[in-house]
């Protein structure tokens, strides 16, 4: 049995099953690096404040740096009989530097230690996630930039509706991701809080300098209330919530692209690096990576719910329940990071089937709203224009006709406002070009947006 940080008042020992059930070393070892970092700052503060002798502070710092290096090099071996990563590091430090190790836990408790470690872990991963969101945005903007001439059908209710620039669609994803990034950045603000020094829950009578530790660990602020410091896990829930929304966005993007690569849509192909074949149907190329991103995203709302239920109705301060926020947190941040990185790779490998897409935007039904607007510009009311175009569509559907084939005389029967120029509207390039409203799919406006994003994301 490994030494514990709390053994002295006990005569008996934890049952084997209790050990198995309560030990967290199997998952909280992911905090090792952050535990060393926080302990180094803490030890330096203890030395600076004269709470422990300077030479002990240097011994602690020296030993912790050695342990930190072995964690970074992947050489640190976790002892499964240690209760948690904090205990394991404490034991290894004692072996390494001897007696001064016993002074490290002065003016702190695992309650403030664990939440501080988790905050450092989150900050590191949030920075990575924010960079990955941006990486995906950049990949989308590059794609939009390279394919500015491509016009695709767009859908509502999954029924063909109007034509848009493919770039416009890509920039729609960029907007969604910008909000996602904002949510992670916002969560980061509340995560960047030094909680170390709150001790068990009430603070300490020792003359600590908490702001010193805040500066050393590059936190933005020092927590103001020791009870809240050890109680609060909101920041984890916020991160899980931001990940759940981002994950939901990724599934919608995946779904669009999965449709694009079906033989029915056939707008594009995905690079072989992200697809697999079928064991029985030799012709198949399945978009497995996109499907698995869509599928795996289901875990985010589950993990978010798990964290909310975990924290619900917990009394103030630290409760052991809080230990199991970690599997959920680690799973969320690691999975969302992988997904974002993959998405950026997938978009770089999308090839548009330009000739096929060109055929798909020829139907005149895509342009009915433009004809409607034509009549409105000539003073016709919206309702009358809708009825007129509706009657034309019915005639075309019933008799397999095209508006472009109707002689002017016939067009005039629908509305005396029609002139030959109405036929100019029946082209996809014109349909995107005539859009004028801010944020529309007009190619000039989309170009402005592409340039704006290129500048912003640099
Ligand atoms: N492994 C524990 C956790 O992650 C450490 C804190 C235990 N603190 C305590 N007072 N029992 O929450």
DSSP string, 107-171: T--HHHHHHHHHHHHHHHHHHHHHHHHHHHHHHHHHHHHHTTT-EEEEEETTEEEEEEEHHHHHH
The b/e string for 376-414 (b: 16+ C-beta within 10 A; e otherwise) is eeeebeeeebbebbeebeebbeeeeeebeebeeeebeeb
The Å distance, Cα 319 to ligand 1 centre, comes to: 8
Please work out whether the CB of residue 214 comes within 6 Å of at least one atom of ligand 1: no
Same domain? 136 vs 204: yes
What pLDDT does 279 receive?
Answer: 83
Residue whose entry in the numeric block shows the structure tokens 């978010």: 304
| C-alpha span between 137 and 453 (Å, rounded) | 9
Please enumerate in sequence order all residues whose Cβ is within 8 A of that of 98, keeping only pairs 6 or more positions apart, or say none.
none
* Residue 161 in domain: no
Same domain? 11 vs 101: yes
**Ligand 1 atom with least separation from CA of 28:** 4
Cα angle for residues 396, 401, 407 (degrees, 5° grid)? 105
| C-alpha span between 3 and 90 (Å, rounded) | 10
Last residue of some domain: 60, 89, 106? Answer: 106
| C-alpha span between 383 and 143 (Å, rounded) | 40
Note if 157 is an active site residue. Answer: yes
Average pLDDT taken over every residue of the chain: 96
Number of folded domains that form the chain: 3
Render pLDDT for 407-455 as a digit per residue (tens, 0 to 9).
999 999 999 999 999 999 999 999 999 999 999 999 999 999 999 999 9
* Residue 235 in domain: yes
The Å distance, Cα 208 to ligand 1 centre, comes to: 22
Low-confidence ranges of the chain (pLDDT < 70): 1-3
Same domain? 338 vs 423: no
Is 0.75 surpassed by the pTM of this model? yes
Could you say which of 13, 18, 26, 278 is catalytic?
A: 278
* Residue 158 in domain: no
CA neighbor of 123 nearest in space, from 67, 72, 189: 189
Look up the domain containing 285 and give its range. Answer: 111-144+169-359
Inter-residue contact 194 to 253 (CB < 8 Å): no
Residue whose entry in the numeric block shows the structure tokens 């404040």: 49
Last residue of some domain: 106, 133, 160? Answer: 106
What pLDDT does 181 receive?
Answer: 98
The Å distance, Cα 1 to ligand 1 centre, comes to: 18
Torsion angle of alpha carbons 446, 343, 243, 448, nearest 10°? -10
Could you say which of 15, 157, 263, 437 is catalytic?
A: 157
Angle between helices 110-146 and 325-348 (to 10 degrees): 10
Same domain? 118 vs 260: yes
What pLDDT does 2 receive?
Answer: 57
Please work out whether the CB of residue 239 comes within 6 Å of at least one atom of ligand 1: no
What pLDDT does 399 receive?
Answer: 94
From its phi and psi, is residue 379 left (phi > 0), alpha (psi between -120 and 50) or beta?
left
What pLDDT does 241 receive?
Answer: 98
Same domain? 203 vs 290: yes
| C-alpha span between 148 and 360 (Å, rounded) | 17
Same domain? 59 vs 194: no
């Amino acid at each position: 049995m490994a030494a514990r940080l709390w053994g002295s008042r006990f005569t008996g020992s934890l049952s084997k099953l209790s050990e198995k059930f309560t030990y967290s070393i199997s998952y909280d070892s992911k905090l090792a690096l952050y535990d060393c970092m926080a302990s180094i700052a803490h030890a330096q503060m203890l030395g600076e404040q004269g709470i422990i002798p300077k030479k002990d502070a240097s011994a602690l710092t020296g030993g912790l740096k050695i342990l930190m290096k072995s964690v970074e090099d992947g050489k640190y071996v976790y002892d499964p009989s240690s209760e948690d990563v904090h205990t394991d590091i404490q034991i290894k430090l004692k072996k390494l530097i001897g007696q001064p190790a016993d002074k490290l836990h002065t003016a702190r408790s695992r309650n403030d230690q664990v939440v501080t470690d988790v905050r450092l872990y989150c900050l590191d991963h949030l920075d990575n996630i924010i960079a990955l969101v941006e990486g995906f945005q950049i990949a989308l903007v590059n794609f939009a930039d390279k394919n500015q001439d491509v016009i695709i059908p767009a859908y509502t209710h999954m029924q063909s509706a109007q034509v848009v620039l493919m770039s416009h669609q890509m920039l729609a994803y960029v907007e969604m991701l910008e909000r996602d990034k904002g949510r992670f950045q916002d969560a980061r603000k509340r995560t960047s809080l030094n909680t170390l020094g709150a001790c068990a829950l009430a603070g300490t009578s020792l003359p600590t300098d908490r702001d010193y530790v805040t500066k050393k660990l590059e936190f933005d602020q020092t927590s103001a209330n020791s009870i809240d410091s050890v109680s609060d896990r909101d920041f984890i829930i916020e991160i899980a919530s931001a990940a759940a929304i981002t994950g939901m966005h990724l599934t919608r993007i995946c779904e669009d692209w999965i449709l694009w690569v079906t033989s029915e849509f056939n707008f594009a192909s995905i690079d072989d690096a992200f697809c697999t074949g079928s064991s029985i149907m030799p012709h198949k190329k399945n978009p497995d990576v996109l499907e698995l991103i869509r599928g795996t995203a289901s875990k985010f709302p589950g993990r978010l719910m798990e964290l909310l239920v975990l924290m619900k109705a917990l009394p103030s301060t630290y409760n052991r329940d809080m230990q199991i926020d970690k599997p959920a947190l680690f799973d969320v941040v690691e999975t969302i990071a992988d997904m974002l990185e993959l998405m950026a790779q997938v978009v770089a490998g999308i090839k548009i089937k330009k000739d096929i897409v060109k055929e798909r935007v020829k139907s005149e039904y895509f342009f009915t709203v433009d004809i409607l607007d034509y009549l409105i510009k000539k003073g016709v009311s919206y309702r009358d224009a809708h009825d007129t175009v509706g009657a034309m569509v019915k005639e075309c559907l019933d008799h397999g006709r095209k508006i472009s084939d109707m002689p002017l005389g016939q067009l005039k029967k629908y509305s005396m406002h029609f002139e030959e120029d109405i036929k100019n509207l029946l082209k996809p390039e014109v349909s995107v070009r005539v859009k004028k409203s801010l944020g529309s799919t007009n190619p000039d406006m989309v170009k402005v947006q592409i340039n704006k994003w290129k500048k912003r994301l640099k």
